[in-house]
Chain A
Amino acid sequence: MATTNGGFAGKVLRVDLSTGKISFDDTVERYREVLGGTGIGYKVIWEEVSAGVAPFDAANKIVFATGALAGTGVPCNGRTAVTTLFPSCWPKPLVASGHMGGQFAAKLKYAGYDALIVEGKSDKPVWLFIRDGRVEIRDARHLWGTGIRRTTLEISQEMGPECAVAAIGQAGENLVPLSVVMNSVSHSAGGVGAVMGAKNLKAIGVQGSGSVRIAGDRSEWERLVKFHLSILGGNNQHVVPSFPDPHSEYYNPRSRWVGAPGRRWGAADPPVEINGGLYDLNRIAFRSNSGAFFLGEQAWKHTVRGNGCTGCPIRCHTILKVPSIAAKYGIREIAQNTCGGLNFGRAFFKALPGGLQSQAALEACMVGMHMADDMGVWCNYGQLQRDLIKLYYDGTLKAKIGSLEYASYSWDKYESGDPLFLFEIIPRVAMRQGELAQGLGLGTGYLLDHWSIPEEVWTKDSACAYWKLGHPKHHANEDDGQCGVIINTQYNRDSQCHSHVNFIRNGLPLEVQKKLAAEIWGAPEAVDGVGDYTPMNMHKARRARWSLVRKELHDSLGLCNWMGPWVASPLKERGYSGDDSLESRFYSLATGQQTSREELDLIGERIFALHRALTIRDMGEMDMRTRHDLAPRWIYQDTNGAQAFTRGTIRMDPQDIAKAMDMFYELMGWEKATGAPTADAYARLGLKSVAEDLAAKKLLPGAKQ
């Protein structure tokens, strides 16, 4: 491992599955300007994958990249960005990334690598063995056809208990675009499983005996880690508990900080009582319980503990143990996940007996996790399930598939919210069995194309939550007005950005949020009350830009954007403010390269601009404004007819959104008419050569046409 630079492991590992060649690059020399994570991913795709390459071509590459802070003691550092051409991006595959937590990032760093680039295609199923400097492409024919759990177990037995295994299930093998790669049992990166499948790459097992060197002063590092812990809240940086607590002036019944004195991890052996002291830095893990948040009180008695990523005290992957599930459905009694993964099964049903927090909901969640996390099916942030709901209840489905296939599903179970229905639908999606399951697994855009359904049918239906390019919204106007809309226009899949929503949902009163907003983004008007939106202003545009830049920074440093940024805190003595310079302070100490907040943000913006350049290049289109940065019709509607800017609606105003995009483009230094970065914008970010390449393709504003 290189020791001249801290933070970075030192090498980027490259494996060509076509030739079997294994090679190494120097991380700092070649990639420091883009940090790691999505930065390395976008750079590799920009430099090495030509426009027009398809996701399943051998010429496509898949980049597993961590960052300088992964594998260190920084809280929430367990992230790996998996960047490639996305097969579910419609109508044309474009660059995107999935992000997984777990232990993979740290193990890769400890083995000496900041990133792994996989290229080519094997002629038979293989898995990748990585143990420090020893890298081997191994036969995986015995694993092909098995699920993620079996694969993980087999490789773990071969490598030893200290390894992390990232594997695909049957969905990835069968080239289902909606498929994941998953490591550490439940931590998945969505949308990329089939790219591995196309390369005949079943899994990656990684084990390392090294460590990550911290270049800066050790005591300063430890102080900063402790400070970071002190400003952590609960899951998604909700900084107030869901109940009144003597230590907190504020609370929020819908906070994800649900752990409270008197609660109990009832399925632990012996059960664990939560006895208070939740502000103690050694007891942060008691604050969150995703099972209890989503499934209510009943989940406490089924809770074994929280699981999670390297260095993260939040433990958002709740382990649930429900013995009755084993008896009733013949499946494992234990499952673990969070958010979309936890809700995978529940989300299929329009209604469940007893509602969203009922026994039926719990069972649906358990069955869903059991199947999807083994077969490796991706929910496309719930769009897979919403697509089925719409197709079925609109009557479209019956008209589109054959009567025999239609009759092969138990629609009575579907309508009644019976989890047994999941045994019919999920395996068929993974195995591409039948017209319906194949269509669902393609992703929304290609499904609609396949069945000649106009996209407009989806874009005008708010219940669908569909956004564009085959993907749904991810915290858009329903959470954050124009800021959410801008963010959701920018990516080639759902935006996966939490910088904005973690602030909006942090649980502090609006007045306190506005005070913090004034400190961070220049004015209290940078934030509105949810559903009480005011016309667009430059401060909101500034917050949108900050949100996107911080997302890319987190994705490129190995930090979790599901938990950060940390600009609010539970600390009354700080006026509930967090710290906007935390990332740069950690980066400076880890690497030994003094980097200010502004300098690091500039790198984040560079990475984001590279994503923009790639999108422009691969679309062969400079007019991002009207061809890419789109918003669905449903954001301009209200089911009750309420007008935009009235209290109690998330309806947006088309002229105001146009103004929002103008302001955002202006802040980014992009041309307003097209939303394309100008030569000056690229140059300011150190991407002059990117601008020159685009100019040569006539994809740069102002370049001679």
Chain B
Amino acid sequence: MTGEECKTLSHALAVAIREASATGKLAGKDLLLSSLKERGIPGFEEQESPDMEALLAQTLATHRDLAALTSITGETLYHSPTLLSRTYASILDRKGSPVVLIAEEVRMNSAQYPRPIPPDLFERAPFDLSPAEIEAALKCMAMSSEFQDISFTTTSTGAVYLFSTRHLERPYAAFLAERADTGLLSNP
């Protein structure tokens, strides 16, 4: 493949990644290959081609607005953080596994902001889990050693908030949950 061909393909891949991000999709190699085929751009027949790996690496190096993340399946996925933030991309990636989706979101919120979060957050977009799915995931976590850090606290109104004991001490989680549940609503 000539340098010019590489440049053309790299550009086409970047366009495909951005288009996917703009429509709320993460781009895996399958999607990128089919996108290239749809555009009539030859050069790749299968995704395991070593050239594909190198070209994607080159694409990321050239197009600094693009990024890669390792999926929970181990696959490398590509996105444009400007159009599809890392946070949002991670949620999309985990949507197939409610247990991981909830656990990682709870951990991230506890570590980063920090704050506990209400389970009904997961009923809303982009999580889109049903109450039954949330309940089943929480039960599953309770029985798995991998998720023993996922805990909950109950506010004065009886509302439940989830947090990770890795990142939040229980009394502080309780304080923050009460603030979110009643404090901020009655302190305009």
- Docked complex Cα distance between A505 and B187 (Å): 12
Give the docked Cα–Cα distance between A245 and B172 (Å). 27
The CA of A3 and the CA of B164, in the complex, are separated in Å by 62
Which residues in A have their C-beta under 8 angstroms from that of B157?
355-356
Binds B, one of A10-18, A450-458, A641-649: A641-649
Question: Which residue of A has the minimal Cβ distance to B126?
Answer: A244
Closest to A511 in B: B112
A243 touches B182 (CB 8 A): no
Q: Say which residue of B21, B81, B124, B171 sits within 8 Å of A647 (CB atoms).
A: B171
**A42 interface contact, C-beta 8 A:** no
Q: Which of B115-146 contact A (CB under 8 A)?
A: 115, 117-118, 121, 124-127
- A212–B149 Cα gap in the complex (Å)? 60
Knowing A243-B125, A356-B185, the reply to whether A647 touches B91 (Cβ < 8 A) is no
| Shortest Cβ distance from B80 into A: residue | A246
Q: What residues on A are CB-neighbors of B174 within 8 Å?
A: 648
* Other-chain contact of A356, B117, B179, B186 (Cβ < 8 Å): B186
Does chain B have a CB within 8 A of A31? no
Do A248 and B188 touch across chains, with their CB atoms under 8 A apart? Answer: no
Pick out which of these stretches binds chain B: A252-260, A367-375, A672-680: A252-260
Listed stretches B43-51, B70-78, B82-90; interface member:
B82-90
From known contacts A253-B121, A509-B113, A642-B171, infer whether A245 and B88 are also in contact, taking CB-CB under 8 Å: yes
- Are B85 and A647 in contact, CB atoms less than 8 angstroms apart? no
Q: Distance (Å) between the CB of A63 and the closest chain B CB?
A: 26
A340 touches B (CB below 8 Å):
yes
Among A249, A261, A347, contact of B125 (Cβ-Cβ < 8 Å): A261
Q: In this assembly, does A444 line the interface, its C-beta being within 8 Å of a C-beta of chain B? A: no
- With CB as the reference atom, state the residue of chain A lying closest to B116: A253
Q: How far is it, in angstroms, between the C-alpha of A247 and the C-alpha of B179 when the chains are bound?
A: 27
Do A343 and B85 have beta carbons less than 8 Å apart?
no
- Residues of chain B with a CB closer than 8 A to A529's CB: 114
Closest A residue, CB atoms, query B169: A647
Contact A251 B175, beta carbon cutoff 8 Å: no
A656 within 8 A of B: no
Choose among A243, A250, A511, A648 the residue that contacts B175 (Cβ–Cβ < 8 A).
A648
- The 8 A CB mask of B17-30 against A (1 = contact, 0 = none) is 00001001000000
- Closest Cβ neighbor of A342 among chain B residues: B188
Asked whether B102 is an interface residue with its Cβ less than 8 Å from the other chain, the reply is no
CB neighbours (8 Å) of B86 from chain A are 249
Contact of B180 with A253 in the complex, beta carbons under 8 Å: yes
Q: Contact check, B172 vs A246: say whether CB atoms are below 8 A apart.
A: no
CA of A246 to CA of B169, assembled, Å: 30
Distance (Å) between the CB of B156 and the closest chain A CB? 10
Q: In the complex the two chains form, is A246's CB within 8 Å of B83's CB? A: yes
CA distance A355 to B82 in the complex (A): 39
Q: Contacts A244-B91, A356-B186 hold; do A532 and B83 have CB atoms under 8 A apart?
A: no
- Name the interface residues of B143-174: CB closer than 8 Å to any CB of A: 157, 169, 171-172, 174
Please measure, in the bound complex, the distance between the C-alpha atom of A82 and the C-alpha atom of B183, giving whole angstroms: 30
B183 contacts A478, CB within 8 Å? yes
Q: List B contacts of A355 (CB < 8 A).
A: 157
Contact A647 B118 (CB under 8 A): no
Q: Which residues of A contact B99 (CB under 8 A)?
A: none
With CB as the reference atom, state the residue of chain A lying closest to B173: A648
A510 touches B114 (CB 8 A): yes
On chain B, the residues within 8 Å of A648 by CB distance are 169, 171-172, 174-176
Contacts of B182 in A (CB 8 A): 356
Nearest residue in B to A562 (C-beta to C-beta)? B188
Judge whether B184 is part of the interface by a CB distance below 8 angstroms: yes
Residues of chain B lying within 8 A (CB to CB) of residue A647: 169, 171-172, 175
Residues on the B chain within 8 Å of A340, using CB: 188
Q: Which residue of B has the minimal Cβ distance to A338?
A: B188
0/1 interface trace, chain A 341-359, chain B, CB 8 Å (1 if under): 0110001000000011100
Q: Choose among B86, B117, B187 the residue with the greatest number of A CB atoms under 10 Å from its CB.
A: B187
Return chain A residues, CB-CB under 8 Å to B185: 294, 356-357
User: Are A246 and B125 closer than 8 Å at their CB atoms?
Assistant: no
The complex places the Cα of A660 from the Cα of B84 at a distance, in Å, of 43
Question: For A249, A253, A260, A342, which residue has the most chain B Cβ atoms within 10 angstroms?
Answer: A253
A254 touches B87 (CB 8 A): no
* B172 and A532 contacting across the interface, CB-CB below 8 Å: yes
Residues on the A chain within 8 Å of B113, using CB: 252, 509-510
Q: How far is the CA of A648 from the CA of B117 in the complex (A)?
A: 16
Can you list 10 A-B pairs, Cβ within 8 angstroms, ordered by A? A243-B125, A251-B87, A254-B180, A260-B125, A347-B186, A355-B157, A356-B182, A510-B114, A530-B176, A640-B171
| Nearest 3 A/B pairs, CB to CB | A339-B188, A648-B175, A647-B172
Known: A251-B87, A339-B188, A356-B182. 6 other contacts (CB 8 A): A247-B82, A248-B87, A249-B87, A253-B121, A510-B112, A648-B171
